Structure 1
Amino acid sequence: MADRSHGIPPAELGDDELRSEMAHLHETRHDTVLGGSEDALETHTRRMLELETEFQRRFPAEAAPEPRRTRAGSREEAGQADR
């Protein structure tokens, strides 16, 4: 039997559940960083990375960076694409 002490494995979540779990984790991140124990932060970080990795796998187009947030996209927007 799988260890579910830290939630359902991301691959087993439905799309809406994955989005909800990720949103909740991002909402609680600040409090965990500021007030959580070292173990709580480790667990939170591990779960966050698992969920984000699964999100990127399922929704690569949504997870892709905005072109302006990349070096090449910023240069292109500034008219410096050749550099």
Structure 2
Amino acid sequence: MDEVTTTELTGAIPAQDLSDGELFKELESLHRTRHDTFLHGSPQALAHHTERMVELENEYLRRFPERAVDPDRLRPEG
């Protein structure tokens, strides 16, 4: 049996099909709900949340590889 993705299970639009505005809204929503899902969600809910978050974040990085990086947020290597 093929593995079912979170996008297929929830009926969510695949990240690559979202407009830039929709992608930003989805990311904001997931980041806003992450802590609550981590603390109180079932293992399945956390897994689905994580899968969708990774999908959206990877799509964002694909579209905006040259995003503004705050040098004050960098940590020394090593």
Tell me whether the two structures share a fold, i.e. TM-score over 0.5: yes
1:48 aligns with one of 50, 53, 56: 53
User: Where do 5+ consecutive residues of structure 2 fail to align?
Assistant: 1-6
Structure 1 stretches (4+) deviating beyond 6 angstroms?
none
Aligned-partner Cα distance in 2 for 1:54–1:9: 10
Corresponding position of 2:21: 16
User: Residue by residue, what CA displacement relative to the aligned partner does 1:23-57 show, whole Å, maximum 9, x if unpaired?
Assistant: 00000001100110000000000000000000000
What CA RMSD, in Å, does the superposition of the two structures yield over aligned residues?
A: 2.0
3-state DSSP of counterpart to 1:11? helix
**Aligned residue-pair number:** 70
1:37 aligns with one of 42, 46, 58: 42
User: Where do 5+ consecutive residues of structure 1 fail to align?
Assistant: 73-83
> TM-score, with normalisation over the residues of structure 2?
0.78
The percentage of counterpart residues that share the same residue type is 49
Q: Report whether the alignment pairs 1:59 with 2:57.
A: no
3-state DSSP of counterpart to 2:9? coil
Corresponding position of 1:69: 73
Pair member with larger Rg: 1
Aligned-partner Cα distance in 1 for 2:47–2:8: 16
> TM-score, with normalisation over the residues of structure 1?
0.73
